Amino acid sequence: MLSTSALELLPPLSKNDFVDLLKIYSASSMEIEPLIQTQSRPFRAPHHSISSNALIGGGSLGRVGPGEISLAHKGLLFLDEFPEFRRDAIEGLREPLQSGRVHLTRVGGNCILPADFTLIAAMNPCPCGMYTPLNNRCRCTPDRKAQYQRKLSSPILDRISVMVQMNVTSSVIENEYVEQSAQKIKESILICSEIQGKRFRSVSALPESAADMSHPDFSLDEKGSEIVKIWQSKFKASFRRVNQTIRVSRTIADLNGHKKIGSNDLVEAWGLRCFDFYQPF
């Protein structure tokens, strides 16, 4: 439910992105009529039994077709029960998550397809889904839990910028309140995306997710650099992980109207990775 709501919060599709999407859908067996009518960003939610070719793209005999990641270009790709997807399908997300496109090589042909999507993935804390730090009723064996967790490799986890734990809630939120806050969030996302659009267009023609981090807006002050040093020495954070966190902190700074990345923005971005702290295994 939250992932479909997230689509509503995204800024409208630009003309160029819409034309790119039309090209992708025309090259697939998908109907393009619904896309033309709504002109909305795509939302794709394939089942975890999907093959790697259908998710990443592929084909045979020289006919290379777009996969779900390209059909979700400039939109949302929702993967429920993330660790249940095939290992090769999960690992195939590495390149597009990094660069916003995918190289497909098959017998008789190869091509590069756009795949600049936002990934939303959901998973249970353990195979039986009953583990919680406060009220643990998990029935899984330690081996089974470890096997479940191992399905997500460090390079894939490093490419996921934000991880949050969803708790069971009994409170009922008033509809009016939800609508008001959704409108506010939508406005702040639109402002933030305009700021980032200007910044990235000025430095690189690459998708925003792969934009050059040498831009001065990513520079850290002395305190920020100290914090990053602690991540690297104490938590053994990889280079990619540090970069991801700085990117998130830049977005948080934009949402807060900060010109420079502050140490509070950095710390908030680091805290948005509950998987690192929430290790039941």
Does 261 bind Zn ion (CB under 5 A)? Our answer is no
Which one-letter amino acid corresponds to residue 40?
Answer: S
Which one-letter amino acid corresponds to residue 251?
Answer: T
CB of 78 to Zn ion, least distance (A): 23
CB of 132 to Zn ion, least distance (A): 10
Chain Cα centroid distance, residue 72: 12
The rounded distance, in Å, linking the Cα atoms of 162 and 157 is: 10
Does 138 bind Zn ion (CB under 5 A)? Our answer is yes
Query: Which window, 42-50, 67-75, 138-146, 253-261, contacts Zn ion (CB under 5 A)?
Result: 138-146
CB of 280 to Zn ion, least distance (A): 8
- Could you give phi then psi for residue 23, rounded to 5 degrees? -65, -45
CB of 131 to Zn ion, least distance (A): 5
69 within 8 A of 77, measured Cβ to Cβ:
yes
32 within 8 A of 26, measured Cβ to Cβ:
yes
Does 191 bind Zn ion (CB under 5 A)? Our answer is no
The rounded distance, in Å, linking the Cα atoms of 45 and 47 is: 7
Instruction: List the one residue from 21, 64, 126, 152 that touches Zn ion (CB under 5 A).
Output: 126
Question: For Zn ion, which is the closer residue by CB, 18 or 281?
Answer: 281
- Could you give phi then psi for residue 174, rounded to 5 degrees? -65, 135
53 within 8 A of 67, measured Cβ to Cβ:
yes
Question: For Zn ion, which is the closer residue by CB, 147 or 204?
Answer: 147
- Could you give phi then psi for residue 153, rounded to 5 degrees? -75, 160
Per-residue DSSP letter, 41: P
Question: For Zn ion, which is the closer residue by CB, 37 or 279?
Answer: 279
CB-count burial class (<10 Å; 0-12, 13-18, 19+) for 177: exposed
The rounded distance, in Å, linking the Cα atoms of 38 and 29 is: 19
Question: For Zn ion, which is the closer residue by CB, 137 or 198?
Answer: 137
CB of 134 to Zn ion, least distance (A): 15
CB of 221 to Zn ion, least distance (A): 44
152 within 8 A of 82, measured Cβ to Cβ:
yes
CB of 148 to Zn ion, least distance (A): 9
Question: For Zn ion, which is the closer residue by CB, 96 or 125?
Answer: 125
The rounded distance, in Å, linking the Cα atoms of 206 and 228 is: 26
Does 128 bind Zn ion (CB under 5 A)? Our answer is yes
CB of 152 to Zn ion, least distance (A): 16
Instruction: List the one residue from 69, 140, 261, 266 that touches Zn ion (CB under 5 A).
Output: 140
Chain residues 29-88 in contact with Zn ion, contact rule CB under 5 A: none
Question: For Zn ion, which is the closer residue by CB, 24 or 140?
Answer: 140
Question: For Zn ion, which is the closer residue by CB, 126 or 248?
Answer: 126
Query: Which window, 20-28, 129-137, 154-162, 220-228, contacts Zn ion (CB under 5 A)?
Result: 129-137
Which of 69-78 are b and which e, b meaning 16 or more Cβ less than 10 Å from the residue's Cβ?
A: bbbbbbbbbb
Tell me the site size for Zn ion, rule CB under 5 A: 5
Question: For Zn ion, which is the closer residue by CB, 143 or 222?
Answer: 143
> Which residues of this protein are in contact with Zn ion, per CB under 5 A?
126, 128, 131, 138, 140
